[in-house]
Amino acid sequence: MLGMAITPNNTMSKLYFFTLLACALTVHPLIAEPSVVVTLGSIGDRIRAQNPDLAAARLRIQEAVGRMNQSGRLSNPEIEAGLEHNSRFREGKLEIGFSQRFPVTGRLQLEKDVSLTELKASEAEVREVERLIIAKAREAVVKVLATRQRRELLREQVGVSKEFANFLSEIAAKGEGSALDSGQAKLEATSLSMEIRQLDASETALVGELKPLLGMRPGESLSVSGSLPIPSLPSVAVDPARRPDFQAAKLNAQAAAQGVALEQARRYDDVEGGLFAAAERTEDAPEGYENEAIIGLRFKIALPFWNKNEGAIQEAEARKERTEKEAIALGRGIRLEAEAARAEMAEWTRMVSEIDSTLLPLADEQSKLAEDAYRNGQGEIQSVLRSREKRLQLSAAKLDALREFHLARVRHESALGKP
């Protein structure tokens, strides 16, 4: 018989193994799901795939498909039956008929044309919902990236302030400087750290606004990647036909024009035609009873005396004129929207360029001169702090201008209907 002796070393090895296994089983549920990573360029694809509001809006297309499939159909045929007899049940009549209504105009084809145009308009309206959601999400991403770059700027400033504060503390400990100056420098670094925490809270709020737009589940983490690129102005060309809401407006105007023809076709009611067959038993005294069979055709034509559908035609013509004017106004508004966004982009571009090329180099020079003067005992700490504050303000103004430029760019691209 084979066996294995349990030695102290084997017991410790088994205990160690089971301990690791238990730890692994305990830690495994705590492993977080990988975060969703989006960029300014990829966020549109994520929204098209995951946004729940967009998924609900797509059902409008199915509704329009159902209306199109239902339109342009003949009314159902009718079967009629009648039975007559006298009180003694010796004479009687049985009649069975079949009838169908037919339009005398092209109403059915016009109904199909209108429903097909409305289907295309529904598709354009869904694309418009997509455009608005993507624009809103891109604005949130721009704000997140701008907040992150502002935080990085403050962290750099905190590092510089702490280095200067340590220098002041060292010379104060040697009796060569003021402890008050050291305290003011530390206070500056601490206040900048508080601003960083405020930016952390702002970024958390922006990410919270972005998650529903991306169709994320509760508890799922989101990571926004990338940075705001250098400003560059787009071309001035504007084509309203690329905007889905303009496409929908034009299609609605087309459907309204088709609706006028449809209402005009409805001035004449359908013609009803049918077949009938009858069997009759009558008493012909003194000859006796006689059986007779009858087959015939039946037609009904409505006379357009009292109702010529004038009110519906008037309504359709007014709708046609209204939708055409709305499409014209929307096209003009799209051009003005794109023009305003591009003009705003041009202003922010000039501001970024001016800060980069003139103001920031000057602020850097003044800050260095103030710090060198203080280190040489020829200046005051307040001059150093003011020069650093001014440089920080200029850097923040540059980031604000960059953020506003990209927000205007998002509006410009959305106005042009870019995906």
Residues 115, 66 contacting (CB under 8 angstroms): no
Q: What is the DSSP letter of 2?
A: -
Would strands 222-224 and 36-38 be described as parallel, antiparallel, or unpaired? parallel
pLDDT of residue 167: 67
Q: How far is Cα 136 from Cα 414, in angstroms, rounded to an integer?
A: 10
pLDDT of residue 236: 87
User: Which two three-digit tokens encode residue 348?
Assistant: 């922010």
pLDDT tens-digit profile of 94-122? 889 999 999 988 999 999 999 999 999 99
Residues 185, 179 contacting (CB under 8 angstroms): no
Contact partners, residue 307, CB within 8 Å, separation at least 6:
none
Residue at 278 is within a domain: no
Residue at 199 is within a domain: yes
pLDDT of residue 185: 65
Q: How many CA atoms lie within 13 A of 418 on its CB side?
A: 15
pLDDT of residue 11: 47
User: Which two three-digit tokens encode residue 15?
Assistant: 């205990």
Q: How far is Cα 49 from Cα 216, in angstroms, rounded to an integer?
A: 11
Residue at 137 is within a domain: yes
pLDDT of residue 120: 95
Give which of 283, 10, 266 is closest to 114, Cα–Cα. Answer: 266
pLDDT tens-digit profile of 327-357? 999 999 999 999 999 999 999 999 999 998 8
Beta bridge partner(s), residue 289: 283
Q: How far is Cα 285 from Cα 140, in angstroms, rounded to an integer?
A: 98
Q: How far is Cα 278 from Cα 335, in angstroms, rounded to an integer?
A: 72
Residues 281, 91 contacting (CB under 8 angstroms): yes
Q: How far is Cα 400 from Cα 408, in angstroms, rounded to an integer?
A: 12
Range of the domain at 191: 36-71+103-217+228-269+304-415
Contact partners, residue 56, CB within 8 Å, separation at least 6:
none
Residues in the chain: 419
Beta bridge partner(s), residue 11: none
Tell me how crowded residue 248 is: count the other CB atoms within 10 A of its CB: 21
Residues 169, 184 contacting (CB under 8 angstroms): no
Residue at 321 is within a domain: yes
pLDDT of residue 29: 40
pLDDT tens-digit profile of 259-304? 999 999 999 889 999 998 888 887 666 666 777 888 989 888 888 8
pLDDT of residue 194: 85
How many domains, the chain?
1
pLDDT of residue 94: 86
Beta bridge partner(s), residue 101: 272
Q: How far is Cα 384 from Cα 367, in angstroms, rounded to an integer?
A: 6
Residue at 90 is within a domain: no
Task: Look up the CATH number of the domain holding residue 145.
Answer: 1.20.1600.10
Residue at 196 is within a domain: yes
Residues 411, 337 contacting (CB under 8 angstroms): yes
Residue at 236 is within a domain: yes
User: Which two three-digit tokens encode residue 62?
Assistant: 């199915």
pLDDT of residue 12: 47
Report if pTM > 0.75: yes
H or E element in which residue 292 lies: strand 288-300
Residue at 148 is within a domain: yes
H or E element in which residue 343 lies: helix 310-354
pLDDT of residue 24: 45
Buried b (16+ CB within 10 A) or exposed e, 87-113: eeeeeebebebebebebebebbebbbb
Kindly list the averaged pLDDT for each block of 10 residues, start to end, along the chain of length 419: 44 50 44 71 91 93 93 91 77 87 91 95 95 95 93 82 69 64 69 85 92 90 90 90 95 95 91 88 71 86 88 95 96 95 95 91 84 73 74 88 95 91
Q: How far is Cα 419 from Cα 43, in angstroms, rounded to an integer?
A: 11
Q: CA distances (Å), 85 to each of 279, 282, 283, 308, 312, in order?
A: 12, 10, 12, 42, 47
Residue 273: exposure state from Cβ atoms within 10 A (0-12, 13-18, ≥19): middle
Tell me the residue ranges of DSSP E strands in 196-285.
222-224, 271-284
